[in-house]
Each structure stands twice: as C-alpha cells, then as structure tokens.
C-alpha cells in the first residue's frame, strides 16, 4: 500500500491554500507599527529596551524546528497537518483577542500575550511550510509555491504598511488588536482547502529518520550558513525604526507608506522569481543572490528623506528575489519524512539572523547614536555588508544541483 500522505491534493487548491494562509499572516502585520509605537511611547522604552522586548516576543520563531518535528512525528486524530494548523490558528486568534481586552498595557502581560499570539502564527507557518515542501518537491514547484506565499505577504504590506500608520493616528491599541484577532480565522478556513492525508504508520520513527538525515547532510549546513550570513543585517529592525523616527523625523504615515512601497516591490520580486525560477538551477540563483548582497547593502549608506522611496523599492524587489532563491535552495535540501522539521530549521536560521540583528543592532545603535545617529547607522550597514562577504567562501562548497536533495 503506498504512503498515502505522498499523494498530492488537487493542484488547483494548493495555490489558494498558500495564498490564504500567508494572507492571514501578512494581515497580522497591521499591528507591527502600532506595537513599535506602543513600546516607544506607551511603555516608554528606548531602542535597546524595545529590542529586548521584541526579542522575547518573537522567541517562538527560534522554536520552529521543535514545532516542525511535532507535526512530522505526532499526528492528531490520525491526520498529519490540518489539526495542528487549526489549533495554531485558534490559539493566535485567542491571544490577539485577549490583548484587545486588556484594561491597560503593562510590560509583562503585554509581552506574554504578544509572545502567545506570535507562537500561534509561527506554528501555522511551520505546518503550511511542511505542506509546501511535501507537495512542492513532488511536483518540482517548491520555488513557485514559495513565490505565491511570499508574494502574498508583500501584497499584504500594501495594506498593512500605510494602514498601520493610519491606525496609529486614528485608532486605539485595543481596536487594532481586536481587528488583528480576525486575521488568524482565515487560516481556519484555509484548512478546508487541503485534504490532509492520513498519517503513515510509524510516523515518529520516520520523522526521527528524517531528522537524522537533516543533521548529517553537508548541504543542510552549507545552506544554513549562507542564509544566516546573508540575512544578518544589524541596521534593520528596531535600530532602523528609531533612526527613522528620531533622527530623520519620519512620521507614522510616511513610515507606513514606505512599508507599502516595500510591499509593491516585494510583490514584483516574487512574481518575477516565480516566473523565472524554473529556468535556472537553485544553486545558480543562490550564488547570484550571495554575490549581489554586499554591494547592494552598501547603497543603504545613501538613505535619507529624498532617497528613501527609491531605495525601499529597489531593496524590496531584490530582497525578496534573494530570499526566495535561498528558500528554494533550502526546500530542495529537505529530506523525505522530515519536511516540516528540516524546512523549519532553515526558517529558524532566517529568523535567528533577524533576531540577532535586531537585538545586537539596537544595542549598538543605542550606544553609538548619542555621538551621531548617521555615523552609528553607517557602521551597522557596513557590518551587514561584511557579513554578506563572509558568505562568499561557502559558495565554493555549495553542493551541485544534482546533490542538493538530502539523503
């Protein structure tokens, strides 16, 4: 009897499923700019303190491999993915709803509920990615499916960027959190679009085998190193927000508008990648992304009020194309029976790079900015470019396209 979970669902449902799940995740972003202002103005936190709060709030992103192993190894009700997806979405909706119901926003309860909301969204993302790798490798469409997903996130940024800025000016935090609580409900509806197959016998044993294949694969560690070094950008995140608001005096609406521009450019980058990716080997696309990273990063040195829209558009486009190239490389390196675990490991490396960038960058900016915010930002941009250059030696040991599949 064949392994039933390897049989792909109807192909016309898969893009709709990915778009719906990532639509929900993207729309949650309407709360991100308001949260930044809540930390800065509502709780009175400085750059380093805000970064510490965000680090704890987003800690669940570092647990993605554990969550991936959970869905690979422990089916619920005899099903492999859908029950976990529904549980994750429901928990996220409840956490955002609880935030909307808080009588006031003190540090600890706000942090705990935001972490819980983030955990629900992270877990739903892990489950969705497990489906993407399983079905994408079967159909040879990992890059296409990821382009659908990431393109949807950036399409959402068109609304959430400017929308978040407007909400900061015209709505209370409770209203914003109540609206955000509706977003995970879309994931509950998306679960019906994937006819989840029955779990194959011996799921824990098979998942353990997949995990072991991941750990001993040279391709996995090489790709993970590339992902971290290319995505370590300490000038981004909290440091950049404080630079925009305190040094450049950007308004909430302008920051939101820039986020929307980033969304348009990112959507274009995902569309181009989705159309072209099947014509190139994943290794070729990843090499191009690594070579372009350092010189493009240095262009941020010219960031200011007049150049901000153009730079945001350029990096929105190339940033997404570069990320998708590395994500496709990662997906093709995932071993059989451990798809969710391995891809979650790769995504955790992306997230670890962002997490470390945010924490270290904000701490450095907080220390250096009093003697010159522009100089502090320039040093962080240079550090980011240097990290990209460190990735170049890894290209020499990157496995060929024929060897990318983990054993």
Can you give the pLDDT at residue 76?
74
Give the residue-averaged pLDDT of 313-324: 86
Give the residue-averaged pLDDT of 64-79: 77
DSSP 181-232: HTTTHHHHHHGGGS-PPBPPTTHHHHHHHHHHHHHT-HHHHHHHHHHHHHH-
28 neighbors 120 (Cβ within 8 angstroms): no
Can you give the pLDDT at residue 203?
64
Can you give the pLDDT at residue 8?
44
CATH numbers and ranges of domains, the chain: 8-193+200-403 (1.20.1250.20)
Q: Is the pLDDT of residue 171 over 60?
A: yes
Angle between helices 107-139 and 339-368 (to 10 degrees): 140
Element (H, E) at 91: helix 82-101
Q: How far is CA 267 from the centre of its chain?
A: 15
Element (H, E) at 329: helix 308-332
Can you give the pLDDT at residue 394?
87
Q: Is the pLDDT of residue 147 over 50?
A: yes
Average pLDDT, the chain: 82
Q: Is the pLDDT of residue 244 over 80?
A: yes
Its sign, for the CA torsion 252, 258, 261, 262, is negative
Q: Is the pLDDT of residue 226 over 60?
A: yes
- More reliable by pLDDT, 101 or 399: 101
Can you give the pLDDT at residue 264?
84
Give the residue-averaged pLDDT of 85-107: 93
**What is the band of 3 on the pLDDT scale with cuts at 50, 70, 90?**
very low
Can you give the pLDDT at residue 197?
56
Give the residue-averaged pLDDT of 45-62: 86
Give φ, ψ of 217 to 5 degrees.
Answer: -90, 120
Can you give the pLDDT at residue 120?
93
SS3 labels along 263-328:
HHHHHHHHHHHHHHHHHCCHHHHHHHHHHHHHHHHHHHHHCCCCCHHHHHHHHHHHHHHHHHHHHH
Give the residue-averaged pLDDT of 29-41: 88
Can you give the pLDDT at residue 201?
59
Percent of the chain residues past pLDDT 70, beyond the cut: 88
Give the residue-averaged pLDDT of 181-193: 87
**What is the band of 6 on the pLDDT scale with cuts at 50, 70, 90?**
very low
**What is the band of 199 on the pLDDT scale with cuts at 50, 70, 90?**
low
pTM over 0.85: no
Q: Which of 244-253, 287-296, 337-346 has the weakest average pLDDT?
A: 337-346
Q: Is the pLDDT of residue 342 over 70?
A: yes
**What is the band of 126 on the pLDDT scale with cuts at 50, 70, 90?**
confident
Rg over alpha carbons for the chain, rounded to the nearest Å, is: 21
Give the residue-averaged pLDDT of 373-401: 87
């Amino acid at each position: 009897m064949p392994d039933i979970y390897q049989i792909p669902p109807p192909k016309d449902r898969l893009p709709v499923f990915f778009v719906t799940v990532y639509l929900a995740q993207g729309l949650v972003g309407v709360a991100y700019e308001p949260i930044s202002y809540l930390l800065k103005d509502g709780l009175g936190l400085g750059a380093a303190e805000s970064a510490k709060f965000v680090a704890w709030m987003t800690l669940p992103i570092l647990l993605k491999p554990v969550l991936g192993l959970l869905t690979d190894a422990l089916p619920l009700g005899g099903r492999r993915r859908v029950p976990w997806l529904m549980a994750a979405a429901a928990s996220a909706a409840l956490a955002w709803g609880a935030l909307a119901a808080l009588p006031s926003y003190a540090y600890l309860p706000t942090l705990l509920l935001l972490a819980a909301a983030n955990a629900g969204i992270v877990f739903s993302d892990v489950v969705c990615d497990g489906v993407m790798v399983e079905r994408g490798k079967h159909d040879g469409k990992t890059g296409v499916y990821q382009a659908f997903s990431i393109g949807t996130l950036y399409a959402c940024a068109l609304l959430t960027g400017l929308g978040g800025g407007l909400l900061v000016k015209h709505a209370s935090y409770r209203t914003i959190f109540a609206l955000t609580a509706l977003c995970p409900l879309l994931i509950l509806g998306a679960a019906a679009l994937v006819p989840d197959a029955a779990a194959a016998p011996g799921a824990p044993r098979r998942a353990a085998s997949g995990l072991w294949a991941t750990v001993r694969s040279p391709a996995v560690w090489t790709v993970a190193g590339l992902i971290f070094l290319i995505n370590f950008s300490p000038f981004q995140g909290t440091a950049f927000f404080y630079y925009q608001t305190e040094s450049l005096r950007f308004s909430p609406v302008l920051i939101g508008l820039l986020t929307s521009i980033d969304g348009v450019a990112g959507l274009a980058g995902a569309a181009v990648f989705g159309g072209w990716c099947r014509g190139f080997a994943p290794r070729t696309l990843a090499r191009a992304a690594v070579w372009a990273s350092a010189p493009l990063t240095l262009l941020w040195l010219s960031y200011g009020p007049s150049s901000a829209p153009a730079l945001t558009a350029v990096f929105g486009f190339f940033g997404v194309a570069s990320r998708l190239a590395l994500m496709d490389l990662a997906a093709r390196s995932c071993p059989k029976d451990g798809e969710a675990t391995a891809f979650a490991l790769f995504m955790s490396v992306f997230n670890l790079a962002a997490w470390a960038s945010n924490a270290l960058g904000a701490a450095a900016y907080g220390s250096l900015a009093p003697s010159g915010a522009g100089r502090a930002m320039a040093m962080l941009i240079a550090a980011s470019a240097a990290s990209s250059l460190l990735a170049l030696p890894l290209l020499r040991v990157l496995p060929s396209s024929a060897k990318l599949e983990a054993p």
